[in-house]
Amino acid sequence: MSRISVTTKRGKLNRYLWLLLIVTLIVLYLTTWPVPIEPVAWEAPFNPGYSGAFESNELLKDIQKLPLGDNHGPEDIALDSQGHIYASTHEGRIVRLQPDGSNPENWVETGGRPLGIDFDNSGNLIVADAFRGLLSIAEDKTIIELATEADGIPINYADDVDIAVDGKIYFSDASTKFGAKEWGGTYEASLLDLMEHGGHGRLLVFNPTDGSVQTLLDDLNFANGVALSYDQTYVLVNETGTYRVIRYWLNGPQKGQSETFLKDLPAFPDNISTGLDNRYWVALVSPRSALLDQLSDKPFLRKVIQRMPAFLRPKAQPYGHIIAVDSGGNVVQNLQDPQGTYPLNTAVTETEEYLYIGSLIAPNIGRLSKPVDF
């Protein structure tokens, strides 16, 4: 055998050995590298897709857009008694617009990441700040921290808020494990919590009379939107990770009990709000991930997915979608924009004339004029 042929065979062998080593290292990395999640096995519920009550349409396509200046990501919208429009933004600011939607101004910076907002009976803007907890902002822009922990556990991801007639403030702590500030932001932390599905979310209530904070529900998979019923007998909370809305009874024979109010949604529910005509608005931030559903009962594979580069993991897909449901959980309005002209909807605020719509990424507030027979 010639020296050249021996050298060639050795060269091929070396290449195979290097290839085997690389493959081995990749396999070891995908199966053993530490990740922050400890996925829990569960069974994803039925996905109706965009059919039936959720049939695809383009009713959000022509939405008006109200600029936010140098801000983006208006998570939630609230209006004061004079009609001024307020939005919580990704930059950590509360932006205020004139009642006609013009002249956005950076009204106040919270020093965190404000998400859900609502005005109390005294005109203070109550803010669920993902970095700081529950805040109150007075008309003179003074900021007070109302709550930073509940039952000895820090509020790591205050998400949405609603205020009862008696002044009590109901709000969500999306994840006690994956805090928004600690894990690089609200979106990044939400992806970790959803991938783990470990039940780290809570529904809380703050009592302004004595400053106490009580846990009403825990073990929620990314506790998100919060809305009180018209008669104040129950509060609704979106469980984003399970594609449903839960009802917690505040009064009556079922006081202290909870039940599923709306289930099997075709997308991840973000915020929920009390609208007009005895209906509740749910913003659906992104269609469900088929991969995430298929791996719901395969925690080991979800860990493998988490070790992959970020661009290969499931992520929010641009799609505009909001729905309204009645007190029985029946869908009565279904407004969509499959092209994502105003994508990743996070909240809906209803007035007599308009629907104000939030977004995870948009540089503006969405506003839709309501038809006369709406």
Buried b (16+ CB within 10 A) or exposed e, 349-370: bbeeebbbbbbbebbbbbbbee
**pLDDT beneath 50, residues of the chain:** 1
The helix (H) or strand (E) run that includes residue 12 is helix 3-32
Domain ranges in the chain? 34-369
Is the distance from CB of 116 to CB of 130 less than 8 angstroms? no
Is the distance from CB of 342 to CB of 65 less than 8 angstroms? yes
Which of 359, 240, 344 has its CA nearest to residue 286?
344
The mean pLDDT value of the chain amounts to 94
The helix (H) or strand (E) run that includes residue 292 is helix 290-294
* Separation CA 220–CA 200 (nearest Å): 6
What does the radius of gyration of the chain's CA atoms come to, in whole angstroms? 23
pLDDT, one tens digit per residue, over 295-311 is 999 999 999 999 989 88
pTM listed for this prediction: 0.93
Report the alpha-carbon angle 228-80-62, nearest 5: 85
DSSP 44: P
Supply 7's token pair.
Answer: 């050298």
Out of 2.120.10.30, 3.40.109.10, 3.40.50.720, 3.20.20.70, which CATH number does the structure's domain 34-369 have?
2.120.10.30
DSSP 251: S
Strand boundaries in 130-231, DSSP class E: 133-137, 143-147, 149-150, 153-154, 158-163, 169-173, 201-207, 212-220, 223-228
Which residues, including other chains, have CB under 8 Å from residue 216's CB and lie 6 or more apart? 170, 202, 203, 204, 205, 235, 248
Instruction: Taking each helix axis as running N to C, give the angle between helix 299-307 and helix 3-32, from 0 to 180 degrees, rounded to the nearest 10.
Output: 120
| pLDDT recorded at residue 34 | 81
Is the distance from CB of 320 to CB of 300 less than 8 angstroms? no
| pLDDT recorded at residue 311 | 86
